[in-house]
A and B are shown apart, each in its own frame.
Chain A
Amino acid sequence: MSDKKKLPAFLSDKKYRGRLTSFSMVLIMYIVIEILMNTGNLSSLFTSLLVPVCCYIVAAIGLNLNVGISGELNLGQACFMSVGAFSAVCVSGSLASSVPDVPRLVISMIVGAILAAVFGILIGIPVLKLEGDYLAIVTLAFGQIVKSLITNMYLGIDEAGYHFSFVDNNVELIPGGKMLLNGPMGATGTQRISTFTAGVVLVVVALIIVYNLMFSRSGRAIMAARDNRIAAESVGIEIVRIKLLAFGISSCLAGAAGALYGLNYSTLIPAKFDFNTSILLLVYVVLGGLGNMNGTMIATIILVLLPELLRSMQDYRMLIYAIVLILIMLLTNNEMVKTWIQKAYLRLSTDRKGR
């Protein structure tokens, strides 16, 4: 206890320490990458991965809020990214001639985030009444439904306004018009206005939102409901309402991430945000540690880069990825490894106290 007195209050308190680590980590990475980029030391491959990494981090942080803090397994996070991405592409496409890039990016991201949040709350109301694996399967089902709905949407814009059709493509545009959504082909010819800086800003905003929620009254209620539903109910916590709050924020973050992702590519197909993407996000969250935002960030960065780093292995890289995934799970759950880590940690902390 004595070492706590020496440190300033914001360092000794657990809730501030996590935040400080997160923000300094993001800042240092941003500066390092900017320097590398400006001196031309970053390969084009890595440069092209910067924005997607930020998007995956934000979506994974949202998912961690859902799975780690709220304790509900969500197998459909990618569908919220999809809602965000395609609504942002439409907004950006319709404003292309009238609004400059940066405000347009911000407006598109806000619209994407809001739409995804509305969607998340609409889905959440029925879903959160279910429990455990049934809840997981319903999120999976919603993910599939959203994917097939977007795959069947056709939206075009011309001087006469918007033209929309569903399932069959009946959109006929006056010359000079533009297709925003093109069914299974998705969005094509999108202006690429996403930037790495926007990605980092989004990550920081996501962290601020999630940390503030975690250590607020609502956040404590969410965690209480996760740890013991019945006990939480008996002290007057409305389970569905607060779980809905977490679910809504989680889908809002995924929507914003999706918006940034959608505006980073000139073509985007709806099949990009399928079940596999949801699973990938879940892998980032679980490997990083449930409820641990720093872990999520590190795991996301490593796992997005891993297949690229293994590119020299060519055909074997995804096989190695799979083996690494299984081995990490086996090792982190192995009793021997666990006690070894605990011992090492204890030794470290006693060393620090001894000083």
Chain B
Amino acid sequence: MDFLSYLINGLGLGSVYAIIALGYTMVYGIAKMLNFAHGDVIMIGAYVAFFSIGDLGLPVIPSVLLSMAVCTVLGVLIERLAYKPLRAASALSVLITAIGVSYFLQNAAQLLWSSSTKVFPTIVSAGGISWNGLTVSWLTLITIGTCIVVMICLTLFINHTKTGRAMRACSEDKGASVLMGINVNKMISITFAIGSGLAAIASVLLCAAYPSVYPTLGAMPGIKAFTAAVFGGIGSIPGAFLGGLLLGVIEIFAKAYISTQLSDAIVFAVLILVLLIKPTGLLGKRIREKV
């Protein structure tokens, strides 16, 4: 029974990673950049939800929506102001700019809301479903459920709408997409909007599980989710989903069976092993270079 409950907890944590990883992987797929500021968008989302539930007294669902709206606008703004002027620049310049944006958001949050940790209110009641001695908390169920819903909606959107098709076209070949009359800049903005909106959902789920809000909150989940995206094959949406879930399960198992202190080391060691065996991640496509 222990094994099953660890597995389900792992899937719960993994679902959060998966939702964050979607943001990384979509942006990488279309803009070919590692968006280091994504973790800090999560942090902003958490603060917005915190103030909206705590100070404005809004119920949970409107708070999540408000947080999503703020993060979406923030994501698009960041893209417009910081990344768009660098479309033609080298990947490293964009990376450093993303790091700059990340510092900016962290320090702005520290100035606005101080560096002290705030306690996130309880939004999901404690109990859960018990079955044969196995208890699954409501929060875990909600988290896994949200992740599945997000995944289905996103897959439908990417595969069956005109915008989704245009986004896929952009990530495959920007030049050809322009010739087909696709507005590439708009597609990139939409990608950032979706990724940041998802980050807001993830932030609320994350804070419901670990109820503390502070300016560097997004850093570690950001790195983990980024790892998850690479794990599954960066640029691949099912890959991010799979990578996120696996990472969560491995982390919980490592904590439960091996050592709490070494869980991070184990997670990253598994990542390295996977990449050595399959250099483009689990579901990544291998593109052969032609001479």
Contacts and interface: CB of A to CB of B under 8 A. Distances in A.
Interface of A: 67, 73, 126, 129-131, 133-134, 136-138, 140-142, 144-145, 148-149, 151-152, 167, 230, 275, 279, 282-283, 286-287, 290, 315-316, 318-319, 321-323, 325-326, 329-330, 332-334
B103 A321 contact: yes
B100 A144 contact: no
Interface residues of B, number: 44
Nearest to A315: B111
Contacts of B261: 148, 151-152, 167
Interface of B is mostly: helix
A322 B265 contact: no
Contacts of A333: 85-86, 88-89, 93
Interface in B229-276: 230, 234, 259, 261-262, 264-265, 268-269, 271-272, 275-276
A321 to B, nearest CB: 7
Interface string B269-286: 101100110011100000
A329 B96 contact: yes
Interface of B: 28, 34, 36, 82, 85-86, 88-89, 92-93, 95-97, 99-101, 103-104, 107-108, 110-111, 219, 223, 226-227, 230, 234, 259, 261-262, 264-265, 268-269, 271-272, 275-276, 279-281, 289, 291
A133 B34 contact: yes
A126 B104 contact: no
Contacts of A325: 96-97, 99-100, 103
Interface of A is mostly: helix
A145 B268 contact: yes
A319 B108 contact: yes
Contacts, number: 122
A322 B107 contact: yes
> Considering the complex of A and B, which 9 residue pairs feature the smallest CB-CB distances, nearest first?
A325-B100, A322-B103, A322-B104, A141-B268, A333-B89, A326-B100, A148-B265, A318-B107, A319-B107
A279 B223 contact: no
B213 to A, nearest CB: 19
